[in-house]
Amino acid sequence: MNEIELKKIKQKALEDKIPIIMDDTLEVIDKLLEEKEPSKILEIGTAVGYSAICFSKYLTNGGRIDTIEREEDRVLQARDNIKRAEVEDKINIFYGDAVEILPTLNEQYDVVFIDAAKGKYPFFLKEALRMLKSDGMIIADNVLYKGYVMSDYNKHKQRTAVRNLREFLQELQNNPELEVEILEVGDGLAIARKK
Ligand code: SAH
Ligand code: MG
């Protein structure tokens, strides 16, 4: 992987106000992936490919990341970025809505990273669980959504997203097969491991 290109990709994404993964969140995920040594990762929400490129260095030999993005211009930028970072043999982008694409996938993943439309997290969880290996791990970003999820203030316009994030966290925590941690890094990070 080309680290200089990675820095440029990050810089441009920040300039363009693309909501890429935050540094402190990435630090946590780096450690998890280093320990896990995944061969297959599923990412929901590619944006311009920054997180996928970062994760790709933890893949075992021949490993692969499948990542889904619904905005065409982001898919095009992501393809370009992935080439510049020299990891195009490790990352496969699906262009389309994850709500439509996920049900067509039938692979087994070591890690599923959820980082897309907050209102769809309960659906993403269901699909992630269906494709998670028996020792797999689900990581979800933005689960505390600027603190809205844990506050009782309920009048903001993001109400549907908040309701669905709460439902997502409930389902994670009520699932007897999962061991769950919710961290206050970045915008809130949920880590769920199969027991
Ligand atoms: N993981 C990226 C950031 C993703 S930002 C990184 O850290 O570098 C969230 C992205 O998810 C946006 O680009 C948005 O277009 C995409 N997205 C949101 N809902 C989606 C959906 N239902 N299907 C596919 N992509 C979606
Ligand atoms: Mg995010």
Digit-coded pLDDT (tens) for 71-92: 999 999 999 999 999 999 999 9
pLDDT at 153: 66
Average pLDDT for 96-107: 98
Any residues with CB less than 8 A from the CB of 141 and at least 6 apart, and which?
Answer: 21, 25, 113, 114, 115, 186, 187, 188, 189
**What is the pTM (predicted TM-score) of this model?**
0.97
Assigned token pair, 28: 């946590």
Q: What Cα–Cα distance (Å) separates residue 18 from each residue in 46, 60, 90, 136, 161?
A: 11, 29, 22, 28, 19
State in Å: Cα 116 to ligand 1 middle.
Answer: 4
Average pLDDT for 106-123: 97
- Ligand 1 pocket test: pick from 12, 65, 71 the residue with the most ligand atoms within 8 Å of its Cβ: 71
Average pLDDT for 101-129: 98
**Which ligand 1 atom minimizes the distance to the CA of 71?**
15
Q: Rounded to whole angstroms, how far apart are CA atoms 180 and 175? A: 9
pLDDT at 137: 98
pLDDT at 115: 98
Whether residue 2 is predicted with pLDDT greater than 90 in this model: the reply is no
Backbone angles phi, psi at 55, to 5 degrees: -70, -25
Q: CA angle, 41 as apex, 39 and 45 as ends, to 5°?
A: 160
Whether residue 68 is predicted with pLDDT greater than 70 in this model: the reply is yes
State in Å: Cα 99 to ligand 1 middle.
Answer: 12
State in Å: Cα 68 to ligand 1 middle.
Answer: 7
pLDDT tens readout for residues 15-60: 999 999 999 999 999 999 999 999 999 999 999 999 999 999 999 9
Q: Which ligand is nearest to the CA of 123?
A: 1
Q: Rounded to whole angstroms, how far apart are CA atoms 144 and 161? A: 11
**Which ligand 1 atom minimizes the distance to the CA of 120?**
22
Radius of gyration of the chain from Cα atoms?
16
Q: Rounded to whole angstroms, how far apart are CA atoms 41 and 59? A: 8
Assigned token pair, 128: 């992630």
Q: Sorting pLDDT into bands at 50, 70 and 90, what band is 162?
A: very high
| Domain ranges, ordered by start, for the chain | 3-194
- CATH of range 3-194; options 3.40.640.10, 2.60.120.430, 3.20.20.70, 3.40.50.150: 3.40.50.150
E strand or H helix at 60: none
Does the beta carbon of 22 sit less than 6 angstroms from any atom of ligand 1?
A: no
DSSP class of residue 192 equals: E
pLDDT at 154: 67
Q: Rounded to whole angstroms, how far apart are CA atoms 119 and 66? A: 21
- Ligand 1 pocket test: pick from 23, 41, 70 the residue with the most ligand atoms within 8 Å of its Cβ: 70
Residue type at 176 in one-letter notation: P
State in Å: Cα 35 to ligand 1 middle.
Answer: 26
